[in-house]
RNA sequence: GGGCGCUUAGCUCAGAGGAAGAGCGCCUCUCUGACGCAGAGGAGGUCGGAGGUUCAAGUCCUCCAGCGCCCACCA
């Protein structure tokens, strides 16, 4: 709560309403329920209308949603609601992801509390548990999405393990299998010894850790000194099959082709030459362990070396490692190092910073490990997916992500798609006893290759990203040729985070092109990452995670959270720092809007828009605010089209607060509180107040849907809900340059009077008697609007100077060609002098700068004529101002 | 080792070649009949540093520094 002084309680307004701030909690759930009941979220196929479609990036069912989801969903809802109002048949499809490994990790954490693992339950029981989990967290997620006001099509909600979706995923696999893109075999992959599965290269998190480099001597088999190698992983020495050096390394030229002895196991292994060895690293000699290192694996294969394995799937030393059998890999590392030292084979040990790969999900150090794996060839899939982005058929926003995408796609590796997990889409392949594989929807009776009838389905499931790659079309009924698919595909925009451009965006583009023959979406908007106010990543485990719903229920409401996030969602920054202060700002805005609307309603009486408005009855101010509103429509619409969401929010914020409320409403009061107000004038004011507010609500609605609906329903309006009201168009209000110019003069004069009065130490309500002097046309304008200027400036004695009559002492200034002055009492002469002196100094400095420029021949000859002209005008204005200020100052003495 | 982003008022951020902006915070005033979650008026930036291009540079170019992100098999 702010520390503002508390005001007397129980005050009521003229219409008897209690003066309490807008309370979103009383409005939002009720409005959402009405929208649901109105069926506005559902978008059935309708060939007479243009479709607009967004597929929600499916949240994992691992828990509740975080601030990143709140932002991501807000942007999608913003786009959906905007396009719906524009007349598109807008469909936003919600759903959730079974997220195999992520869900496994959280479920197993739960099981671990009872001292159990998934293996204690067994596949079947574990899957039951998974479905219960899904029911619980799926519902939680959907209720959070609803509470934020999101207008998703709930009739189409999809889960990646729904039967139809499951079948579509299997169909994708089978088609790729048919084309020969899928291959199977023993491969070295990233293995998580805790989760007991492979993970793809993209799911490895590299972290720098302090480690050691051991320099270990491998004695020559011939009794010679042999060679010294450097290693961080002494335990893998037991699986060494060679030592490699660079072929051009003269230090070892004599050794290549001879043998050295692997310490501890006393195995004789060859010294080989290979260009992949970096002679500058360590000693230039590399021990080769094909069973436990990717580079060694490659080198070993090239030289036909055997593969030895000394670690099991849990990262423990195997039974064949003698004294080390059963030790954990880290324990074994120390033990082996100790034994090497005892044997006098460690030449030295130095500290070394190295990158270790951690499991993205459980942070366990990953192990390069050889197991039976399924891979998907990517080259043929990637080629068209590169082309469509190059051709602009898929566009990234901000544009810089295009290069990130292309760089990765151009160097794409084959994709390890199998996971040794249970919750997911089981690979539809059967292995026969003779080692053949048969892919299909059902278990084959016998093996087509050998006729064998002993067939077992593959145990592994597909990578969760394999199933989500089909999201844009599997949700629409594919592989069937459905009306939904024909109508909504390709979808319009994908809104997502940069962390899954490779994992998900790239794969959707590849799958879409491969299976449907067209891009899955035409635009990709990469939203910023939400960080906390210190600029740190939000993370539950670090205790820095923020629950968006906490803030909502604390009283800020969903609209405030949506507006706060939108206001800071710019394309310039890749992160968005979120703090509670931002919610206060926007909550205050909502309250301002609410109260402005209350003012309008108070004065609308029995006004109906049908009465129309006569242009002749419109004041300068009516024309001005309509002109500003007209510009606003253009700006907001253009910014939405350009994905500049912060600009959308800011334009609306500034318009409502700084123009509509601060000026138009205040000016309208001058007339509305006039006892003898002409009914025709009243109608014009009512019409303007209503028209601009009603239209602005429509522009605001995509960002803050609940409050705009609440207000809109209380105003004269057409239609059942603001969410299906038309989007304001450029024809709704005309820009009026003359009105804007006139208004600029009036606001400048009002501000000048307020400023001078404040500088003279007069309270805002103290009446003053300013004297204005201006050229004929401006004077005419000001005289015509003197009541308004006088009221806003609290200057009942406003006068116009005819000749050179000036009070004895006065403070004055010139704004917009108008000389404004206020008489000064003797006691205030010092204050007046201070103000005039400061303003004069500033004006003089600026005048000098301008004169200097105008004396610069290069400037005069090279700058565009209008720039020079502008400077000449400025010079004249400044000369006038300094002259006037100096006059007032001199008179004070 | 490459690539990308950021560095503007105490804080969070707009601005992308022609006179430094917003919100919050701070200081003065104000119990005005929409709103104190408010109104009025202020103070406060040599726009990270150094060069350069230009008549003119937060704004374009080069280099440097700090912070952050991504990619890469260096034992």
pLDDT of residue A764: 77
| ipTM, 2 dp | 0.97
At CB < 8 A and 24+ separation, what contacts does A345-350 make? A345/A216, A345/A217, A345/A219, A345/A263, A346/A214, A346/A215, A346/A216, A346/A217, A347/A215, A347/A216, A347/A217, A347/A228, A348/A215, A349/A212, A349/A213, A349/A214, A349/A215, A350/A212, A350/A213, A350/A215
How far is the C-alpha of A282 from the C-alpha of A265, rounded, in Å?
Answer: 23
Of A340-354, A494-508, A711-725, the one with minimum mean pLDDT is A340-354
Of A86-100, A108-122, A385-399, A604-618, the one with minimum mean pLDDT is A604-618
The pair of three-digit structure tokens given for residue A438, joined into one six-digit string: 């048969």
- Helices A737-759 and A776-784 cross at an angle (nearest 10°) of 80
Nucleotide nearest to A581 (CA to C1'): B24
Summarize the confidence of residues A231-259 as an average pLDDT: 93
pLDDT of residue A806: 66
pLDDT of residue A3: 34
* pLDDT over 80 (residue A412): yes
Protein CA A245 to sugar C1' B66 (Å): 40
Closest residue by Cα to residue A467 from A501, A418, A431 = A418
Protein CA A142 to sugar C1' B11 (Å): 35
Summarize the confidence of residues A484-503 as an average pLDDT: 97
**Which protein residue's Cα is closest to nucleotide B19 at C1'?**
A846
* pLDDT over 90 (residue A802): no
Protein CA A737 to sugar C1' B24 (Å): 33
How far is the C-alpha of A822 from the C-alpha of A807, rounded, in Å?
Answer: 9
pLDDT of residue A542: 55
Which positions ≥6 away from A584 have C-beta within 8 Å?
A2, A556
Mean pLDDT of chain A: 93
pLDDT of residue A763: 81
pLDDT of residue A539: 66
**Which protein residue's Cα is closest to nucleotide B33 at C1'?**
A14
How far is the C-alpha of A637 from the C-alpha of A371, rounded, in Å?
Answer: 55
- Evaluated on CA atoms A582, A584, A585, A587, the torsion sign reads positive
Share of chain A above pLDDT 70, in %: 97
Summarize the confidence of residues A836-844 as an average pLDDT: 94
pLDDT of residue A12: 40
DSSP A649: H
Protein CA A3 to sugar C1' B25 (Å): 12
Nucleotides of B under 7 A from a protein CB: 3-6, 11-16, 18-19, 22-25, 28-42, 54-56, 67-75
**Which residues lie across from A95 on neighbouring strands?**
A158
pLDDT band at A119 (very low <50, low <70, confident <90, very high): very high
Summarize the confidence of residues A127-146 as an average pLDDT: 96
Nucleotide nearest to A589 (CA to C1'): B37
Nucleotide nearest to A600 (CA to C1'): B34
Protein CA A358 to sugar C1' B20 (Å): 47
**Which protein residue's Cα is closest to nucleotide B16 at C1'?**
A572
* pLDDT over 80 (residue A201): yes
Nucleotide nearest to A578 (CA to C1'): B12
pLDDT of residue A8: 36
* pLDDT over 90 (residue A418): yes
**Which protein residue's Cα is closest to nucleotide B3 at C1'?**
A404
Of A44-58, A762-776, A862-876, the one with minimum mean pLDDT is A762-776
Dump pLDDT digits (tens) for A306-340: 999 999 999 999 999 999 999 999 999 999 999 99
* pLDDT over 50 (residue A4): no
Protein CA A702 to sugar C1' B16 (Å): 29
* pLDDT over 90 (residue A225): no
* pLDDT over 60 (residue A37): yes
Strand duo A395-397 + A521-527: pairing? parallel
pTM of the shown model: 0.94
Protein CA A580 to sugar C1' B25 (Å): 14
Nucleotide nearest to A400 (CA to C1'): B4
Nucleotide nearest to A863 (CA to C1'): B55
Protein CA A526 to sugar C1' B36 (Å): 40
Protein CA A757 to sugar C1' B28 (Å): 12
* pLDDT over 80 (residue A807): no
* pLDDT over 50 (residue A7): no
């Amino acid at each position: 709560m702010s520390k503002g002084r508390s005001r007397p309680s129980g005050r009521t307004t003229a219409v008897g309403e209690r003066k309490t701030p807008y309370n979103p909690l009383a409005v939002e759930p009720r409005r959402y329920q009405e929208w649901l009941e109105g069926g506005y979220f559902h978008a059935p196929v309708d060939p007479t209308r243009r479709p607009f479609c967004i597929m929600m990036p499916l949240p994992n069912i691992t828990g509740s949603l975080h601030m990143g989801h709140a932002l991501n969903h807000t942007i999608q809802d913003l786009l959906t609601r905007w396009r719906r109002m524009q007349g598109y048949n807008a469909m936003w499809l919600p759903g959730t992801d079974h997220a195999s490994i992520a869900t496994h990790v959280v479920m197993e954490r739960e099981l671990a509390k009872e001292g159990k693992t998934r293996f204690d339950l067994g596949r079947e029981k574990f899957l039951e548990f998974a479905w219960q989990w899904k029911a619980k967290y799926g519902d939680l997620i959907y209720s959070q999405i609803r509470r934020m006001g999101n207008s998703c099509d709930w009739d189409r909600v999809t889960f990646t393990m729904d039967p139809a979706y499951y079948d579509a995923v299997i169909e994708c696999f089978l088609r790729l299998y048919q084309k020969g893109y899928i291959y199977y075999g023993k491969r070295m992959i990233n293995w998580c010894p805790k989760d007991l599965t492979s993970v793809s290269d993209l799911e490895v998190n590299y972290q720098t850790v302090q480690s050691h480099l051991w320099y270990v001597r491998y004695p020559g088999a011939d009794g010679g000194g042999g060679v010294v190698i450097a290693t961080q992983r002494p335990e893998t020495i037991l699986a060494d099959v060679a030592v490699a050096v660079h072929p051009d390394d003269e230090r070892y030229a004599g050794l290549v082709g001879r043998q050295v002895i692997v310490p501890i196991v006393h195995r004789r292994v060859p010294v080989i030459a290979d260009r992949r060895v970096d002679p500058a690293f360590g000693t230039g000699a590399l021990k080769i362990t094909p069973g436990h290192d990717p580079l060694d694996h490659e080198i070993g294969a090239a030289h036909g070396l055997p593969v030895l394995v000394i670690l099991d799937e849990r990262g423990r030393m195997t039974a064949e490692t003698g004294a080390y059998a059963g030790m954990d890999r880290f324990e074994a590392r120390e033990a082996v190092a100790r034994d090497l030292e005892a044997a006098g084979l460690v030449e030295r040990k130095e500290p070394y910073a190295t990158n270790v790969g951690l499991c993205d999900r459980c942070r366990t150090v990953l192990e390069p490990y050889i197991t039976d794996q399924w891979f998907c060839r990517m080259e043929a899939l990637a080629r068209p997916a590169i082309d469509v982005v190059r051709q602009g058929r898929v566009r990234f926003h901000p544009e810089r992500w295009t290069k990130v995408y292309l760089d990765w796609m151009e160097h794409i590796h084959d994709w390890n798609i199998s996971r040794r997990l249970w919750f997911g889409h089981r690979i539809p392949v059967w292995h026969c006893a003779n080692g053949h594989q048969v892919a299909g929807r059902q278990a084959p009776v016998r093996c087509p290759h050998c006729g064998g009838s002993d067939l077992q389905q593959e145990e592994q499931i597909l990578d969760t990203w394999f199933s989500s790659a089909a999201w844009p079309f599997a949700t629409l009924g594919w592989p069937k040729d459905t009306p939904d698919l024909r109508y909504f595909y390709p979808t319009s925009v994908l809104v997502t985070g940069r962390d899954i451009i490779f994992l998900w965006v790239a794969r959707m583009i590849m799958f879409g092109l491969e299976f449907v023959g067209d891009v899955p979406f035409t635009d990709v908007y990469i939203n910023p990452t939400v960080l906390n106010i210190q600029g740190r990543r939000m993370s539950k485990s670090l205790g820095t995670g923020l629950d968006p719903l906490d803030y909502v229920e604390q009283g800020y409401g969903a609209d405030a959270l949506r507006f706060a996030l939108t206001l800071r969602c710019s394309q310039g920054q890749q992160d968005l720092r979120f703090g509670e202060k931002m919610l206060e700002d926007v909550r205050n805005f909502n309250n301002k809007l609410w109260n402005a609307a209350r003012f309008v309603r108070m004065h609308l009486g029995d006004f109906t828009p049908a009465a129309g408005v006569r242009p002749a009855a419109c004041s300068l101010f009516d024309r001005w605010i309509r002109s500003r509103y007209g510009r606003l429509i253009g700006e907001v619409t253009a910014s939405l089209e350009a994905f500049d969401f912060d600009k959308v929010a800011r334009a609306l914020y500034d318009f409502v607060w700084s123009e509509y409320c601060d000026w138009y409403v205040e000016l309208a009061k001058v007339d509305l509180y006039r006892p003898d107000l002409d009914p025709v004038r009243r109608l014009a004011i009512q019409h303007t107040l209503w028209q601009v507010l009603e239209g602005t609500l429509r522009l605001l609605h995509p960002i803050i849907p609940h409050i705009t609906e609440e207000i809109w329903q209380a105003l004269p309006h057409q239609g059942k809900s603001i969410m299906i009201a038309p989007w304001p168009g450029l024809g709704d209000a005309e820009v009026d340059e003359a009105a804007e110019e006139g208004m600029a003069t009036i606001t400048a004069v009002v501000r000048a009077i307020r400023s001078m009065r404040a500088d003279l130490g007069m309270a805002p309500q103290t009446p003053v008697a300013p004297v204005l002097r201006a050229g004929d046309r401006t004077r005419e304008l000001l005289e015509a609007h003197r009541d308004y200027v006088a009221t806003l400036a609290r200057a009942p004695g406003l006068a116009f100077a005819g000749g050179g009559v000036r009070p004895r002492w006065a403070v004055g200034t010139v704004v917009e060609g108008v000389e404004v002055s206020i008489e000064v009492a003797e006691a205030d002469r010092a204050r007046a002098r201070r103000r005039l002196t400061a303003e004069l100094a500033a004006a003089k400095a600026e005048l000098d700068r301008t004169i200097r420029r105008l004396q610069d021949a290069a400037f005069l000859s090279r700058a565009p004529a209008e720039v020079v002209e502008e400077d000449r005008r400025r010079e004249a204005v400044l000369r006038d101002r300094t002259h006037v200020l100096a006059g007032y100052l001199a008179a004070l003495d």
